[in-house]
Amino acid sequence: MGVHKEVMKRSSKGRDYSFARCSLDPFLSPAKGTFFEDSVTTADVLEFGNEVLLFFGGLCEHERIGLASVPREHFNGRAWTIWQPDPVLDIGPPGSFDCRHVTDPASICTESGILLYYSGLGEGEDAIGLAISEDGKAFFKFSENPLLEGRAPEIVWHQGQFYLYFVRPDARGGYSIFLANSVDGSHFSKPYKQPVLEPSIGMWDSYTVTTPRIYRAEDRFWLSYAGDDETRDFPKGFGLAFSKDLIHWEKYKGNPVLRRGLSGSWDDQAIWFPTLYRHRDRVLMLYEGSHNLSDLTEPVSQIGLAVLDL
């Protein structure tokens, strides 16, 4: 989740990491007349200056990336101010790799501003693009070409390198999580040949592992992800894995740490992008969930909150 996101104070050994919903309602929902009129997707949280920023995907014909914020002293995980009525990152021109959708924001602070990685869907294979901002408000695409093929990026800075996580389809038909490195954040090595996290055998995540998020926890890292045993991209649960080097990961034996909601709830169909953020004596999980409304044929996504007490 980036260089400046909070640090955990407990070891991953000998405790229960199950998350509980903070509320039965989402905190960010579609709004008529906005670029997120049909769905709100993919939360990503970043500390920037004296504010906490929330990047999110908004769907209205095309998916685009919006921004909300709150002063650090007023942060509670649920109350946000939409920064502007328009997206901060829009689709590309006809024929480009991101001409249909830009989504799945993954942000990180650098000395010169913010790097914002995203999934671009358009001509060709799904791919990952990069936008840059000096002030956290105006974003400009780094290039009209993608960085590499894949989607659902996550970015981490560690020991002089950027670690870019993303998903690609695997031989089984689901997703696995891959990794590429960079020293400048814009030119990445060829991805590791083997995934850094893949589906388990005979478990709840035996078909797909997807939408990774990374959280720094004192002397180790947490990887939170969505998984499923039936579908590639409609996962029913969240899991955790732990690592000290960002390459070798061990899944938590108590997974899943959160499952989709009960029938009739706003997140009863699928859940994605479990984004972790430390606030006081809790770890907050901001995540996307979907539900089929009775008068619509397509599921509606919204963003809600779950918590882990420390």
Locate the domains of the chain by residue range.
20-309
Distance of alpha carbon 252 from the chain centroid: 19
CB 209 within 8 A of CB 198: yes
3-state secondary structure of 176: strand
193 Cβ contact list (under 8 Å, min separation 6):
none
Residue 96: CB atoms within 10 Å = 18
Nearest to 211 by CA among 255, 158, 141, 273: 273
Q: What is the pLDDT of residue 297?
A: 62
21 Cβ contact list (under 8 Å, min separation 6):
258, 261, 304, 305, 306, 307
Q: What is the pLDDT of residue 295?
A: 56
Q: What is the pLDDT of residue 218?
A: 77
pTM of the entire structure?
Answer: 0.93
pLDDT tens per residue across all 310 residues of the chain: 333 333 333 444 578 999 999 888 999 999 999 999 999 999 999 999 999 999 999 999 999 999 999 999 999 999 999 987 899 999 999 999 999 999 999 999 999 999 999 999 999 999 999 999 999 889 999 999 999 999 999 999 999 999 999 999 998 899 999 999 999 999 999 999 999 999 999 999 999 999 999 999 878 999 999 999 999 999 999 999 999 999 999 999 999 999 999 999 999 999 999 999 999 889 999 999 999 765 556 789 999 999 999 8
* Angle at alpha carbon of residue 75, lines to 4 and 267, rounded to 5°: 95
How far apart CA 278 and CA 282 sit, in angstroms, is 6
Nearest to 59 by CA among 81, 28, 83: 28
Identify the CATH assignment for 20-309 out of 3.40.718.10, 3.20.20.70, 2.115.10.20, 2.130.10.30: 2.115.10.20
